[in-house]
Amino acid sequence: MGAQQNRRRYLILIILLVAGLLVNLCSGPTWFSPQQLIHPQTDLQTKTILFVRLPRALASGLVGAELAVAGQLLQTISRNPIADPAILGVNSGANLALIVGTVLGIPFTIGARFGLALIGAVLAFCVVLGLSLTRNGMQPLRLILGGSIFSGFLVSVAYAVSLLTETTAQYRTLLVGGFSGITYSSVWLLTALLLILLVGIFYLREALTLLTLNDQLAQSLGSQRNGTRILAALLIVLAAGGCVAVAGNIAFVGLGIPQCIALLSGHRFKNTVGQVLLAGGAFLSFGDALAKSVRPPFELPLGALSAILGGLFLFVFLWRKQGALTT
């Protein structure tokens, strides 16, 4: 019965992901019908579908999948259910590095953006990790508190830099998140990062599952805890840095999606990572479609939209957790 339920969940998530991509392709200032997607009526429609909407739809699905898996990895290695790259300053560090680098004159190409975002993500993660370390090792509470405070500080600095240099409009997508102006070069970058992420997860799948146990039991079963956590942290920073380089600062996807899947399918990493990947892609595909369709020709800031949804989830999750502890 468990295997059948698992297959059913995968089927539902695949259908949701495909539906999200199709809705994203159809949505925009002008809605296209599914028939127009297959048989565009004008050259302008053809170019809009192939070179504007298709790369954007693919990028939104890839970013959602990678942020969700990065969040699950972070929750696994920290054993904290509310850990998220955005909360721990990784996204904010990447975002600030992008703004500072481009203000200093570094070309705003996808390669340069990825390099800057990766440097910023690594530095921010190292600072937050240092804040969480004590003589007894990493403290999850210090990790979350230190990360939240440092993330807020980095966001404020990013806004201050953009205001002082009068580049707020230029860096709007980086500051509030979104997929406006996405090209296929970004899609290829995200695809390469997803392949690296999947290969790394496949290599670490058993060790990551053991990390959900307590340290003493995991060590007795042969888990190399520190090495696993370091490799997983590198995958998290790589994925988060790439996503910020493409779509700016999008929060809470890595928090809410893994926990939703955990409520349905449990906490075993290797059994749920595929579901988290599909659910993350579907969530951000629908989110991007909503962001660009509610008030055309303007777009809602996707980072704010995902934060609202994620914040609502966080309140519900903490309320359920409190109820479980008091019963």
Write the pLDDT tens digit of every residue in 64-78: 999 999 999 988 887
**Closest by alpha carbon to 129, among 110, 117, 115, 143?**
143
Given a contact cutoff of 8 angstroms between Cβ atoms, the answer to whether 178 and 299 are in contact is: yes
Return the pLDDT at 193.
Answer: 95
For residue 140, is pLDDT > 80? no
Of 29-43, 59-73, 130-144, the range with the highest mean pLDDT is: 59-73
Given a contact cutoff of 8 angstroms between Cβ atoms, the answer to whether 243 and 190 are in contact is: yes
For residue 179, is pLDDT > 80? yes
For residue 79, is pLDDT > 50? yes
For residue 321, is pLDDT > 70? no
Which amino acid, 3? A
For residue 174, is pLDDT > 70? yes
Average pLDDT value for residue range 187-199:
96
For residue 277, is pLDDT > 90? yes
Average pLDDT along the chain: 84
The domain ranges of the chain are 2-326
Write the pLDDT tens digit of every residue in 239-262: 999 999 999 888 789 888 998 898
Output 307 or 150, whichever has higher pLDDT.
150
Which of the four pLDDT bands, split at 50, 70 and 90, describes residue 186?
A: very high
Output 283 or 145, whichever has higher pLDDT.
283
Average pLDDT value for residue range 273-284:
95
Write the pLDDT tens digit of every residue in 200-241: 999 988 888 777 665 555 555 445 666 777 888 889 989 999
Its pTM stands at: 0.89
Given a contact cutoff of 8 angstroms between Cβ atoms, the answer to whether 236 and 74 are in contact is: yes
**Closest by alpha carbon to 251, among 164, 147, 140, 168?**
147
**Closest by alpha carbon to 121, among 228, 232, 239?**
239
Which of the four pLDDT bands, split at 50, 70 and 90, describes residue 273?
A: very high
d(C-alpha 270, C-alpha 165), whole Å: 46
Return the pLDDT at 216.
Answer: 52
Bridge partners of 137, per DSSP, are 134
Output 106 or 325, whichever has higher pLDDT.
106
Of all residues in the chain, what percent carry a pLDDT higher than 90? 34
Write the pLDDT tens digit of every residue in 80-134: 777 888 877 888 898 889 888 888 888 878 888 899 999 999 898 888 888 877 7
d(C-alpha 271, C-alpha 276), whole Å: 10
The widest CA-to-CA distance across the chain, in whole angstroms, is 67
| Three-class HEC string of the chain | CHHHHHHHHHHHHHHHHHHHHHHHHHCCCCCCCHHHHHCCCCHHHHHHHHHHHHHHHHHHHHHHHHHHHHHHHHHHHHCCCCCCCCCCCHHHHHHHHHHHHHHCCCCCCHHHHHHHHHHHHHHHHHHHHHHHEECCEECHHHHHHHHHHHHHHHHHHHHHHHHHCCCCCCCHHHHHCCCCCCCHHHHHHHHHHHHHHHHHHHHHHHHHHHCCCCHHHHHHCCCCHHHHHHHHHHHHHHHHHHHHHHHCCCCCHHHHHHHHHHHHHCCCHHHHHHHHHHHHHHHHHHHHHHHHHCCCCCCCCHHHHHHHHHHHHHHHHHHHHHHHHHC
Q: Identify the architecture of domain 2-326 in CATH.
A: Orthogonal Bundle (1.10)
Rg for the chain (alpha carbons), in Å? Answer: 20
Which amino acid, 254? G
Return the pLDDT at 19.
Answer: 97
Return the pLDDT at 318.
Answer: 63
